[in-house]
Structure 1
């Protein structure tokens, strides 16, 4: 019996692989066409969105069974492009919707300080008191979340025994998952009467109380991310310090914390971003007063934040285009601020990785 030449066998295998690859590409192409058609149908308010989405699901399910590798690449590509695309669409949408209010108010939308500051009936919208309320509550929240968060991360990562660490770390993550409305309700029903009675405040709610509650809400985020930064410090650095005769505290103070400083800074920035974007706790605790406290530095005064304004007024703004546009302008300020903080935290974390890798 004559043997089949090896070259013929390899070419046959290559042909089968090429056919499989082409089949996978064809299935992926059909799926992408269905998805693009569904998106176009949604934008044009056409009735073909759900049928095309169903077609995409069917095609991807068939591809997963018959051409799994190519289908997996297609799905990961779709997920990545969708993430970037959705972010871009959100950005464009809120900016476009905010243009009427910005055009109507001009620079006064960010600089107006005389009354009235926020009067929808008169067409006056100044974001300055809203920004002031957001800044004050964020500073108070940061003053709580930053030191306590770093201390908690240091305790979990360096001091606590393993048995205690295994209990505390999941508990901190559970705290991060508690809905913000729960924190706000507890703050309003428990802490607010106490502060009102003890400090004899003239009204319900205050910037100080909102900042304290939001600070405790941001605390689990700072602790969790900060503990990861401390855990990333090479053990050889700490062991070398201890071998030179330093105590555990001296090692933590002089080696661990300075080395993890970039990661801890990123953790604090993420906590600040959580504080800036907090909505329900501020809405429950603060009054609906779009005005400056008197005096301006009175942290026990009452005003409103950007997020609380959007949450409390979007219903009354329905059918009033200029009012809706002003709320979108508040959303633009929030979006840009949180995006800058997120980029800064990513930069700091990347710098920490380069520093620990010896590239700096």
Structure 2
């Protein structure tokens, strides 16, 4: 009997060993096929489909026979591919932007004397576009930030159930409206109104574009902030009310601090939406690569980094194309900085709410 048990144990161990070897084979074959796919895409694009089909075949076989191990491998490959793709995009942007930096130096980022942007003279300065992006972003978030957080608090903490069930789907629908629709409405209504009533020098202004971007960012801020506020444990709010605090005192002293990291993330997502908005500003702005005079005049028309790229990529070449890639690098660094800042805010709030300094 003991011998029979030993035989079964050895048989089970052999089976497990065979499964491990099979899983290792699937892992190796999948990784090799992915590497071959990348190599073919870079060297011989016409043959990329063959190693890609091999990867799908290996993944299908692994999913059928070694599902748990294959799932881990696929998740790893997805994560690694995200990092690799982001790295390749970064390297490509920087390499394409180098020629204009060699030609213009730091004047590309700091030149303020005219001409600021002249393809005939080979002069390129991103200062007007960076200023336009900054102004539209600040004005847009001055609209979307407070209104978005207030709307999220109303939906989560104040509105009756029937109102919440109507308002939240409506907000999510607004978030799905294409930006070109917002831009066209802004062009027809806001630009026309401001031109007729305020007699602007240009058909289009930073203020009008910022107003539209703020409305566009509002659903994003409301939706994300409402989720963050709704995730605050009910026990924390009930405890505050049990101690005699009013609803407003509970919202102010418990709900908002506890959800601050999520709310700040919502606002930063709105900022990212405002910084990266392209079609609305492309439609609404007059595409003049000049600084407003005076510089604080938000009713003047200029350009943003995104509208510059959208408006000129079709006819650009040489250093002009390189300057557009440099604008992309500035946008990339800006959004990266916002992402890092949001991580610092979240970490600080976790330490504060956890009781450590």
Same fold (TM over 0.5): yes
1:170 Cα deviation (Å)? 2.5
Instruction: Identify which of 344, 350, 354 aligns with 2:341.
Output: 344
Query: Residue in 2 aligned with 1:323?
Result: 320
1:89-168 matches, within 5 Å, as 89-168=88-167
Q: What is the count of residue pairs matched by the alignment?
A: 357
Out of 275-284 and 255-264, give the one that drifted further. Answer: 255-264
CA RMSD, 1 decimal:
1.6
Matches within 5 A, 1:42-53: 42-53=41-52
- Note closer, same or farther for the CA distance 1:255–1:115 as it changes in structure 2 (3 Å cut): same
In 1, Cα distance between the equivalents of 2:290 and 2:30? 53
CA distance in 2, matches of 1:234, 1:59: 45
Residue 3 of structure 1, CA deviation: 6.9
Partner of 2:32: 33
Match of 2:212?
Answer: 213
How far the C-alpha of 1:53 sits from its partner, in A, is 0.8
Structure 1 distance, partners of 2:207, 2:265, is 25
> Unmatched 5+ residue regions in structure 2?
none
Answer whether contact 1:145 1:215 (CA < 8 A) is retained. yes
| Aligned counterparts, 1:1-360, within 5 A | 5-317=4-316, 320-357=317-354
Q: Which segment drifts farther, 130-139 or 30-39?
A: 30-39
Task: List runs of 5+ in structure 1 lacking aligned partners.
Answer: none
Offset, 1:359: 5.6
1:169 positional shift: 2.1
CA distance in 2: counterparts of 1:231 and 1:358, whole angstroms = 22
**More displaced stretch, 29-38 vs 258-267:** 258-267
The CA distance in 2 between the partners of 1:162 and 1:8, in whole Å, is 65
CA distance in structure 2 between the partners assigned to 1:40 and 1:180 by the alignment? 37
Partner of 1:5, secondary structure, is helix
TM-score using structure 2 length: 0.95
- What is the TM-score when the length of structure 1 is the normalising length? 0.94
